[in-house]
Structure 1
Amino acid sequence: MLGKRGAGDDGQQAKKKRRLAGPVEPLNALVHLNKLRPGAQFKLVSQVGPVHSPLFVMEVEVNQQLFQGSGNSKKLAKLRAAELALKSFLQFPDASEAHQLLGRGFLPATADFTSDADVSSSGACRSLFSDFSGGGGTGAGDLNNAGGGDALQQRILSSKPGDKNPVMVLNEIHRGVKYDLLGEVGEKHFKLFNMKVTVGSREFTGSGRSKKVAKYNAALTALKVLHGISQFRSRVNEEKALGGQEPQVVADHMAQLVLTKFGELTNNLSSPHARRKVLAGIVMTTGHEGDSGQVICLATGTKCINGEYLSASGQAVNDCHAEVLCRRLLVKFLYQQLKMFLPNLSPVVSILEPQPDGRGFRLKDGVKFHLYISTSPCGDCRIFSPHDAKTDEGRTPNQISDKHPNRRARGLLRTKIESGEGTIPVRVEGTIQTWDGVLQGERLLTMSCSDKLTRWNVLGLQGALLHQYLPPVYLSSIVVGSWYHSEHMMRGVYGRVAPSLDARLGQSGQSEFRLNRPFLSGVSSPEGRQAGKTPNFSVNWCVGYEGLEVINPTTGKTEKELPSQLTKQAMFRDFLSLYGKIPALDASQGVLDAPK
């Protein structure tokens, strides 16, 4: 017996030893209400719904007011009713949360958190808000001048910046911020949530693959706009900002515009044609006050035409990669704008204007085009590992430089593979690709998207035919939704040709072409990797279209086996509709007589 009793005692001691003392858990709203208003009675108002999923409504009377809460259980309904009751006479329904926001840790069980003297005499409270203008508090409406200096940012983030996220910091600076879910788009397995945070009289939005990420991005936007706190920036190439705004805010906004428009065109992503691997879109800004940008075109796709379906008359689309289709859609849009200047047409507001010398046209001042791609373009921009080892500072691959810039794989021209995905380097000594060779079975090679972006940054987006009427049109920014690496992206779209082209274009002096260096950026909430089979269709849309046009990438034609609106033949038809009817840039460079 003694032996057993001793063994039992040892077991109890071991049990006690395994208990670790931890912080006191914060009390919920129901407990706080019972402490502040002892005897508050809850009563069941109603119970609706099936047996397996009931909905209870509980009611409590506090200060001669009735508060109701609902939930899937009586306990949850009582808790929500208590929260509403507390909000009616307390600023913080959760007292422990209030003390944490004031930097005082959890509320002791014996503390009187309703005492005015306790809060007003708090040194943490005074130190937190002493940076606001004049030492006296600011109203919720005057937020632009509140804590704009570096002192506030340093005070909040200096101790342990890695332990605080934007939501925590925003709550420390502004009490009573409110988060609301604006909506969610997408299918069950691929949803995008939009959250709004209200700070005083101003509202800021954020999006993400979960509500938590969307809330994080909304708070991040608010901090950057109101206080210039950029402690959390991670995927921005800070070469230059757009329009004086915070670069990351602008990049996230461009991405959000394209994603929202795609959701509208696909019936909240419920359409069968909403399936995609890559989404790209072009946003146009005019520089006018209040202009937040307009999506003028978007497309999806990752495949190229099969060699046996090549068309000698230009009735098939050879490359159905999303960013390539977007460039063709932009050309289509520019043709639409030029047709507004045809004779006998009533004047319409256009983004173009005649050149001062009367020859050709040009973009109006302030008009810019911004390209969004949901993932880095294939080719040289994408040849890296997204999970390379991080540096000692904990920076991600998006922030670190290329450790092996002189590798042979860097800066190479690459081609897409027929009937497959990915790219391979161009063989300098390789044989020339011929039409009959492709028809006989030789694999068709198509220029990679990285190489095409480099070409567009030199020659412009408009193409040879449209150049008869417009000077080169360049992108102002490129925003990448995932797999963004600033060093590889910069090299892939213009850096690899900069040394030679800068010298050549500088020597000519008279050339209207230049090496364009667009603003490059990732997004705050990158898309996740979408494993699965690539859709066997590609969709595109442009301003003026009634709906989405669906193309079969294998044949280069629509689902009804008709030529697309983006074929070479269709583009040439648009050119002929203008030729000889509106002034060209230089008649000596084009055809003098209109075709009969």
Structure 2
Amino acid sequence: CKDGMGVGDQLPNGSGHGSRKRPLEEGNNGHTHSKFRAKKRKKTPGPVLPKNALMQLNEIKPGLQYKLLSQTGPVHAPVFVMTVEVNGQMFEGMGPTKKKAKLNAAEKALRSFVQFPNASEAHLAMGRTLTVNTDFTSDQADFPDMLFNGFETPAAPEESFYLGSNGTNSLGEFPLPTPPGSNLVQAPLPPSSAFSSPSTGKNPVMILNELRPGLKYDFVSESGESHAKNFVMSVTVDSQTFEGSGRNKKLAKARAAQAALSALFNMQLDQTPSRQPIPREGLQLHLPQVLADAVSRLVVDKFSELTDNFTSPHARRKVLAGVVMTTGTDVKEAQVICVSTGTKCINGEYMSDRGLALNDCHAEIIARRSLIRYLYTQLEFFLSNIKEDHHKSIFVPCDKGGYRLKDNVQFHLYISTSPCGDARIFSPHEAGVEDQGDRHPNRKARGQLRTKIESGEGTIPVRSSNTIQTWDGVLQGERLLTMSCSDKIARWNVVGIQGSLMSYFTEPIYFSSIILGSLYHADHLSRAMYQRIADIEDLPQQFTLNRPLLSGISNAEARQPGKAPNFSVNWTVGDQALEVINATTGKDDMGRPSRLCKHALYSRWVRLHTKVLNRTYEKYYTTFSHIKLQLKISPAYQSLK
């Protein structure tokens, strides 16, 4: 090198600016080593590739010897024949290389004693049970594009899933009705088979594709706020359409496939026990998960429509609730009856002795009041002289007097989170896959009556030593006690949702299902809704302990952090727009009473009572409390309450 220029200076990365490589140093008894050792390459994380037949056979029968039997063909295109002995039988495999010939031989060996078309049945034939679990209803689940390999070793419990058929904790335990023309159920369900056993290692889309190849999935809709999108996909199988929803299209496809597998092939997703739906007593017109997802989607979509795609300032909320009505087996014909939001109660100083203020503005309570308003409208339709209105009413006369709902008319309550009180007192993230339900059912905190905090959120237990709440005491500053939502819903499951005044006209009306958008736990919710009062006896005629369907949704709603808004909104079918109520005062910002207040509902009752008896009660009592006391409306209802 001339002018003292080193080799390193001539390299492109040196650029001739004296960037020299350090010389190797001598050390360790003359052994050369670099002062700066090269870093080890990190392996790029990626999906685990499926095992081929050679690897699978080696796991089942380790130590097998493959021998070259022959080599034929020209030099540029040789054909190798390899043999392997398994269970005393020789198997030959051919291929252009020895490796491919060995693979071919291994495949033949597997097929010889595993005479089934898929991995799950192979494991059953070999007496092995595979449990590769992933909860496809969890909002944390995604589905890999590649095929799950059925011969791989079991995954860790927290990653496990399996599809079951009429097994323990499977929805298949509960037979579904089979009305004609239903697009949700099919009868008779096929018997359990090895294919639907808990050892299949494929996601629902893959399984359905094997059963019905060439299916096409259609995009139905996209909804939700930007940070919580919800996609709906559909698939048509055997002339029946099934829908699934999820935070992405891939998840929605899997849930649509799962719905089809559940209805047509009796293949049910076995979830963690605490996340499984609990079917209602009596007639079940819909698949639980299909119904839950549909009801949730309908309520959220209606709220989006009413708030200009969540852009309205009144779209702010912590809890969203709504009631959906079904009149048959087709969920597509379901109708949203009401939508509401809210998480707070009235301040004690704003209470009204004339029933002009809303005391409890929690979303589910407002939804029930909206439903009562709808029921009054339907009774007015039935008593109308206009035939069209009369025929579209959901009521029919009772044999013993009064009115009842038409057959197959059902109401479904949706709440975006578990109701405050007993149903919400648990730690949602401590329930793992190994969860076997509530491990401490006898704790004092279980099943307690609780009251809401005045002008705040949350609940506190009711103590037996508490003094009786008085009107003047509250006005002087004593804390206002309001029943928790869990306790109120439990009461509705006995006395009905129609209220005392409506009981004068109708039989008790109960919710057919209670669906939660988040914080669903089967044990805690069922205890709060009806199990803690299961010992109730000597109920008056027509009343019963209602046990509705309890379910979460596939695409659980994200937690809504931050301060709750101080307002509540409500809408009932037929209304032009949302009504906004100040939760602190129980009235709107102009000081006007709500259309859902006791006074407004009582006015509807008076009009209806006039139509029924063809007489006017305007000259009688004009306050809500007087009508209950003096007319002795529904003594059975009052005694139960």
Q: What TM-score comes out, normalization by structure 2 length?
A: 0.66
* TM-superposed deviation, 1:582: 0.9
Give the distance between the partners of 1:19 and 1:409, measured in 2 at CA. Answer: 49
Match of 1:519 in 2: 549
Q: Hey, what does 1:441 align to over in structure 2? A: 477
Structure 2 alignment gaps of length 5 or more:
1-22, 51-96, 101-106, 122-184, 615-628, 634-641
Query: For the residues of structure 2 that align with 1:20 and 1:130, how far apart are their CA atoms?
Result: 28
Output one character per residue of 1:22-58: Cα deviation in whole Å (capped at 9) or x when no partner: 9789xxxxxxxxxxxxxxxxxxxxxxxxxxxxxxxxx
2:456 pairs, out of 410, 420, 425, with 420
User: What are the residue-to-residue correspondences of 1:96-135 with 2, within 5 Å?
Assistant: 127-128=117-118
SS of alignment partner, residue 224 of structure 2? strand
Residue 289 of structure 2 is matched in structure 1 by 248
Take 2:561 and 2:307, find their aligned partners in 1: how far apart are those partners? Answer: 21
Q: Separation in 1 of the partners of 2:521 and 2:47? A: 42
User: How far apart, in 1, do the equivalents of 2:45 and 2:251 lie?
Assistant: 32
Would you say how many aligned residue pairs link Structure 1 and Structure 2? 474
Identify the match of residue 206 of structure 1 among 225, 237, 244.
Answer: 244
Residues 1:231 and 1:341: Cα distance change in structure 2 (over 3 Å): closer
1:274-285 aligned within 5 A: 274-285=315-326
Distance, in Å, in 1 between the alignment partners of 2:46 and 2:318 is 50
**Pick from 417, 427, 436: which aligns with 1:375?**
417
Q: 1:418 to 1:147 in 2, by over 3 A?
A: closer
3-state SS in 2 of match to 1:490: helix
Alpha-carbon distance, 1:446 to partner: 0.6
What is the CA-CA distance between 1:383 and the residue it aligns to? 0.9
Q: Secondary structure at the match of 2:554?
A: coil
Contact 1:341 1:582 in 2 (8 A): no
Letter of the structure 2 residue corresponding to residue 151 of structure 1: S
Aligned to 2:205, the other structure's residue is in SS state helix
Matches within 5 A, 1:33-432: 127-128=117-118, 148-151=190-193, 153-154=195-196, 158=199, 161=201, 164-197=202-235, 199=237, 202-234=240-272, 235-240=275-280, 243=284, 245-287=286-328, 292-342=333-383, 344-348=385-389, 349=391, 350-357=393-400, 359-390=401-432, 394-396=433-435, 400-432=436-468
Specify the code of the residue in structure 2 equivalent to 1:364: K
Matching residue of 2:506: 470
Root mean square deviation, CA, Å: 4.0
Q: Which amino acid aligns with 2:406?
A: K
Equivalent of 1:504 in 534, 538, 562: 538
Q: TM-score, normalised by structure 1?
A: 0.70
Which residue number corresponds to residue 33 of structure 2? 7
8 Å contact kept, 2:228–2:557: no
Q: Does the 8 Å CA contact 1:278/1:302 hold for their aligned counterparts?
A: yes
8 Å contact kept, 2:420–2:484: yes
Whether 1:555 aligns to 2:581 is no
Cα 1:3/1:198, change in 2 over 3 Å:
farther
- The letter for the 1-side match of 2:512 is S
Q: Match of 2:193, SS?
A: helix
Moved more, 317-326 or 440-449: 440-449
Q: Give the fraction of aligned pairs with identical amino acids, expressed as a percent.
A: 51
Question: Structure 1 regions of 5+ residues with no counterpart?
Answer: 26-107, 112-117, 132-142
What amino acid maps onto 1:440 in structure 2? Q
Q: Is the 8 A contact 2:258 2:269 kept in 1?
A: no
CA contact (8 A) 1:374 1:527 kept: yes
In 2, are the aligned partners of 1:217 and 1:525 still within 8 Å (CA)? no
CA contact (8 A) 2:25 2:35 kept: no
Q: Do the aligned residues in 1 keep the contact of 2:347 with 2:454 (CA within 8 Å)?
A: yes
CA radius of gyration, larger in: 2
Match of 2:573 in 1: 543
Could you tell me how far 1:497 is from its partner in structure 2?
A: 1.3
SS at match of 1:127: coil
Give, in whole Å, the separation in 1 of the partners of 2:322 and 2:538. Answer: 32
* Displacement after TM superposition at 1:192 (Å): 2.1
Q: CA deviation at 1:183?
A: 3.2
Deviation of 1:167 after TM superposition, in Å, equals 3.3
- Tell whether the 8 Å contact from 1:185 to 1:269 is kept in structure 2 after alignment: no
Q: Which amino acid aligns with 1:204?
A: F
Q: CA deviation at 1:269?
A: 2.3
Cα 1:306–1:169 change in 2 (3 A) is same
> Displacement, 1:151?
2.5
The residue that corresponds to 1:530 in the other structure is 560
Structure 2 CA distance for aligned equivalents of residues 420 and 279 of structure 1: 17
Aligned to 1:84: none
Q: Deviations over 1:374-396 (max 9, x none)?
A: 11111111111112253xxx245
The 3 A distance-change label for structure 1 pair 381 and 3 is same
Three-state SS of the structure 1 residue aligned to 2:612 is coil
